[in-house]
Structure 1
Amino acid sequence: MEAKVVKKEAFKAIGVKWVGTFEQAAKGEIKVFHKKFLNSKNQIKYAVNPENIIGLSYDNTENGFTYYLALEVEEGTAIPEGMEIISVPACTYATTEYKGAAVSEAYTGLYTWIKQNEYTLRQSDLEHLEEYPGSFDPVTDVPELKIHIPIKGI
């Protein structure tokens, strides 16, 4: 696994929200959620890059998490019905690119890399940020994504 540190500026995104347990996610609910988002993403006007799907995972529930699928948008973009605007603060991330069936192993590897390189996880609700190509079909394709885990600025 090749990992690096990247800094991302703050941005706004518009998308849809899923709230559930880790068990529900493991059973495939997020794949179905992702597929539904792909069918509705064209409702989001003025996306900065409509072919870059952003997944935002917030560890903010007692037994699970909140997950957004969104597109980065320009300031002032209209919010389609049933969607929300998400503000993502500027942050430093440990980042890796991954393609394969064992995404959890990529996360484990990145967390290990963070520890081995003596970085500290950033204390916030944002657990991780993912980037998927717009053509990715979560039901039929092998996962292909960039994984970003917030770390304290260096």
Structure 2
Amino acid sequence: MEFRIVEKEELKVVGISWNGTYSQAKIIPRLFDIMEKRLEEVPFQTKDPVLIAPFHSRESEFTYYVTTPVEEVKEVPEGMVGFSIPRKYYVRTTHLGGPEEVENTYLRLFNWMEEYGYEQDHQALSLEIFPKQQNAAGNLQFEIYLPIKMYKNN
């Protein structure tokens, strides 16, 4: 598993949001189904073949968005949200495996950050970026971006 520090430019997104406890997180795959059915409603989409899932983690709950990138945030469809994610430095890795292995990918990412002296910026959104077409065998492949408070050269 490779970990890298990257800078992502500002992203503009439109999509759906959900807020709940960690024990309710099993609903998240359904959010992707809902968003994929509503994609045609979103104007100004970019040609990027991805869904972007920004999220805020808190101690007992989190907010998860399933969005599509857009050129501009205008004419947001009813029941959706639109916003900009500022340019930011992130630690990036790729998860490849079953849904049951996602937690281990995050634990390895957190351990790497601690080992190399990076601190997560809990005020900023974390990102998961998924290809619009997933592997039908049940394996997931997506990029994880955790925002960091500092940037240091290794």
Q: TM-score, normalised by structure 1?
A: 0.88
- Distance in 1 (CA, whole Å) between partners of 2:122 and 2:129 is 21
- Distance in 1 (CA, whole Å) between partners of 2:41 and 2:138 is 24
Which of 34, 38, 41 is the equivalent residue of 2:39? Answer: 41
Matching residue of 1:14: 14
What SS does the corresponding residue of 1:92 show, helix, strand or coil?
strand
1:88 aligns with 2:100: no
Q: Deviations over 1:108-148 (max 9, x none)?
A: 1111111111112224152x2000000127x9631110000
Do 1:16 and 1:82's aligned partners in 2 also have CA atoms closer than 8 Å?
A: yes
1:108-147 correspondence runs (5 A): 108-126=107-125, 128-136=126-134, 141-147=138-144
- Distance in 2 (CA, whole Å) between partners of 1:133 and 1:84 is 21
Structure 2 counterpart of 1:119, one-letter code: Y
Identical-residue share of aligned pairs (%): 30
> How far is the alpha carbon of 1:81 from its aligned partner?
1.6
Which of 67, 71, 90 is the equivalent residue of 2:68? Answer: 71
- Distance in 1 (CA, whole Å) between partners of 2:137 and 2:80 is 25
Instruction: Give the alignment's Cα RMSD to 1 decimal.
Output: 1.8
What SS does the corresponding residue of 2:35 show, helix, strand or coil?
helix
Matching residue of 1:51: 49
> How far is the alpha carbon of 1:63 from its aligned partner?
2.9
- Distance in 2 (CA, whole Å) between partners of 1:76 and 1:31 is 25
**Which consecutive aligned stretches of 4+ in structure 1 deviate over 4 angstroms post-superposition?**
none
> How far is the alpha carbon of 1:45 from its aligned partner?
2.0
- Distance in 2 (CA, whole Å) between partners of 1:134 and 1:63 is 30
> How far is the alpha carbon of 1:67 from its aligned partner?
0.4
Q: TM-score, normalised by structure 2?
A: 0.88
Do 1:59 and 1:125's aligned partners in 2 also have CA atoms closer than 8 Å?
A: no
The number of aligned residues is: 149
Matching residue of 1:3: 3
